[in-house]
Every structure is written in structure tokens, then in C-alpha cells.
Amino acid sequence: MTRTRNLTVATAALLVAAAVPLLRAGDSAPASDNGQAVRPAMGWSSWSFVRRWPTQAKIEAQADALAASGLKDHGFVQVNLDDFYQKCDANGFTVDSYGRWAVDPAKFPDGIKALADYVHAKGLKFGFYVTPGIAKNAVTRNTPIEGTSYHAQDIADTSKTEKNYNCKNMYYIDYSKPGAQEFVNSWAKQFASWGVDYLKIDGVGSQDIPDVQAWSKALRVSGRPITFALSNNLAIADAPTWRSLANSWRTQGDVECYCGPGDNGSGYPLTDWSHVSARFNTAANWQQYAGPGGWNDLDSLEIGNGDQVGLTADQRRSHFTLWSMAAAPLLLGTDLTHLDTVDKAMLTNDRLIGVDQDGVAAKRIVNSGVKQVWSKKESDGQYVVALFNTGTSGSSTVSVDWSQVGFTGSGDVTDLWSGSHKGTVATTYSATLRPGETRLIRVRPLG
């Protein structure tokens, strides 16, 4: 995916990273060949902060903040509208004349195309949301399928309802029936005509592989390049399938804690350390499936609003470090209209962004209690190594031998969070870390 960006250090990092081969030894399945997501997506998504109450004004305000804050210049270009933009009645989603979800005009009075145009005018990309199936109202009305002689009742399996988090009442689609693929095609073409650049399909399980296949096909013939993201908590047993069809896949449930004081646990805190630290194991388990064209999605990056998100500054740096080492999408979930200065400095650290965008997912090489070490080799032969203390109390000294990292002899070390050059380190590197703290280094072997 090509991004229009200022010539910053992050740009240079991406150019260097372009040398990473598109398929690496150990890849267990070919990546999606739709040409999207050569690097992990970066931007903002509405769910964590806006939650169930998105409006046109709110999304435009976040797009304004993404551009004005300078985050856009560091690669954060996606503005993704998640769930609850739709209009519902007592029977589920209201639908248009072709059985597709209708947008709530009270929330989005100018429609989705106008919103996408607004986002694009800022030099940003627009993301949208859907779930598998066909709406009950479409089946009840037996709406026609655009461009065909078929109707909703011809393709719906009314014996089963799909998972949906909003209006519910979504029937399965029987893809053995003529008109089924054409229905999904018509929806994808509608999204393309609105200017959608990124589509998240949510509520996906292994039983929905036919839907994922259908949407993958539909997006390719939609007339617009669209990055395809799957959510959430997908089965690792089907990882080769997700990788062959989509550009990212959520490896776990939501990173949000739903422990805020508002409706449905909304408001601050957005998350907590237990939800973030749970990603260490899933990132390790899924590591082999990440690579250009398809990425392990660890969920939103909850950095931007300081301590009130539910994480200390040390934990937020570890949060960013793990996502970057995993080469995961960097989709902010915070309120960018109230960007914390400490967090802005984190998010505009081009050394960290370069680690994420290098196209290599790190392996965990030490996992002992609260001590973890992750390592990856970049295309220029240097290594990036992250040391973590995942505990919530007490400092801990974390050590790693260069032989564990992948080379012998001494290494020339640079601290990537601070940018300071540490010089030559022989054999073993150690760091004493506060609870939740990380140390991220780049090592050039001196053999």
C-alpha cells in the first residue's frame, strides 16, 4: 500500500525495510496477493474511545487531529470507522433497496462518501466496517440482489444467525446458491464507490470461512484497492487460510478492559495491563504467520491520552514495543483531540515505527517468569532485541546472550527508545527494568 508522506526518518526506515523479501523461510502459507498491506497498517480506529456513539463530527475531528498533530507525517494515515454507524429497527438492521445496511442519517447526515471525501482531503485513508451474513430485514422484504435476477430469500440460510454486536438479526448466507457471491460483490462495490480504503469484517469465526472467501473475491473486483482485515479472536488452526485471504487478522479478543464508568464499560480507563500483557503469548504463537501482505493484529494501540488509558508510561512503552516487534498494525484507539505530550513523543519516535514497519515479526527467545526477550533480524543483517519485565511489582534484571539472538562475538548497541549509542557489548546484554518497563536495542554484530 503506497502512502503519501513527508520525507522523514520514518520514510527512510520504510525505504530500507523495502529490502525485506515478500516471502521468508518459515512462512507456512502464501500471503494474500491482493497487493495491499506490504507493511502493517497505521492510523486510528473509532472503537476504543468513540465506542457505540460514532458521528460524522466525531470522526472528522479525529481526522483533523491526526493530520494537525503531525502523526500523519509519521505514517499514521488510516481513519477507521468501526461499528454502530448503522440504523436499526425492531427487526435488526434497516437496509437499502438492495438489502445492504443503511447508514443512520442522524449520525452521518452527509453519508459515508462525504465522510470518506473529508478524510481523503486531509491526505488520509478511510476505513469501514461490516460483519458476515445478510440482514433479516433484507430477507423479510426479499430485496433484489443488485445486477441479478436473484433476491435475498434465494441466498439466506434462515436456520442460523450470524454473530453481530449491534442490531443482531443477521442470517447466514448459503454460498452454494446463485446470487450469494453477487450480493457480497454489490456491497463491496458500494463501499468502493464511497471511497473505502480498508475494510474490517468483524465477528468472524472458522465457520465464516465462506464469507471471508466471498469478501476477499468481492474486494478484488470492487474497482478500488481495499485492505482487508479480519476480526476477532480467530483460530490459529486456520491461520494459513486467514493469511491467504486477508491482510490482517485479530489473534485475540478485545484489548479494551470495558472497565470504565460509562455505558457498557465505556470511558477511561480504556484498557489495563492484563489485557495488554496477554498479547505476549499470542504474538509468540502466531509469529510465523506474519509477513508482507498479511499481519497478526494484536488490536488497538492504547497510547495518546497518558495514564488515564489504564497503563503507566512504562507499560505504554512496552505496549508499543511489543506491537512493533510483532510487526502488528498500529491503529490508535485513543482520543487524538486531547493528545498527551508524553504519548505524542512515543508515537512520533521514528525508530520505533521503523521496527514495526520493517516487515519482520520477532521471535520470543527468553520466557522466564516476568522476564521476556524478543529478537528479529532485519534485512541489513542487524538485530532488534526487546527486553521486558512484564511484572506489576519489583524490578528485575533481564539478560540475553548474543548467541541466543543469533550471532557470536560482540555487538554494537544503540538504544532505540532514547536513540543513544551504547557502544560495544561483549557476549551478554543485561538491563534492570522497573515493573512493566522495556528496553529496545538495535545490535550490529562485530564479527
> Which amino acid would we find at residue 45?
S
The angle at the Cα of 120, spanning 219 to 181, to the nearest 5 degrees, equals: 15
Kindly list the distances between the CA atom of residue 106 and the CA atoms of 79, 102, 141, 224, in Å, as whole numbers in the listed order. 20, 12, 23, 28
What are φ and ψ of residue 423, in 5° steps? Answer: 85, -160
Contact 283, 323 (CB under 8 A): no
Instruction: State the Cα–Cα distance between residues 347 and 260, nearest whole angstrom.
Output: 24
H-type alpha helices, 2-100: 9-17, 47-50, 56-68
Kindly list the distances between the CA atom of residue 36 and the CA atoms of 15, 246, 426, in Å, as whole numbers in the listed order. 17, 9, 41
The three grid cell numbers given for residue 443, joined into one nine-digit string: 545490535
Nearest to 251 by CA among 263, 235, 270: 235
- Other beta carbons less than 10 A from residue 102's beta carbon: 17
Instruction: State the Cα–Cα distance between residues 250 and 184, nearest whole angstrom.
Output: 22
Kindly list the distances between the CA atom of residue 243 and the CA atoms of 26, 40, 216, 379, 434, in Å, as whole numbers in the listed order. 14, 13, 11, 22, 37
Helix 313-325 × helix 350-357 angle, to 10°: 30
Burial class (CB in 10 A: 0-12, 13-18, 19+), 236: middle
Nearest to 81 by CA among 93, 371, 107: 107
**Which of helix, strand or coil describes residue 230?**
strand
The three grid cell numbers given for residue 334, joined into one nine-digit string: 485513543
Instruction: State the Cα–Cα distance between residues 41 and 117, nearest whole angstrom.
Output: 20
Instruction: State the Cα–Cα distance between residues 247 and 198, nearest whole angstrom.
Output: 10
Query: Which residues belong to the active site?
Result: 202, 254
Nearest to 138 by CA among 185, 164, 171: 171
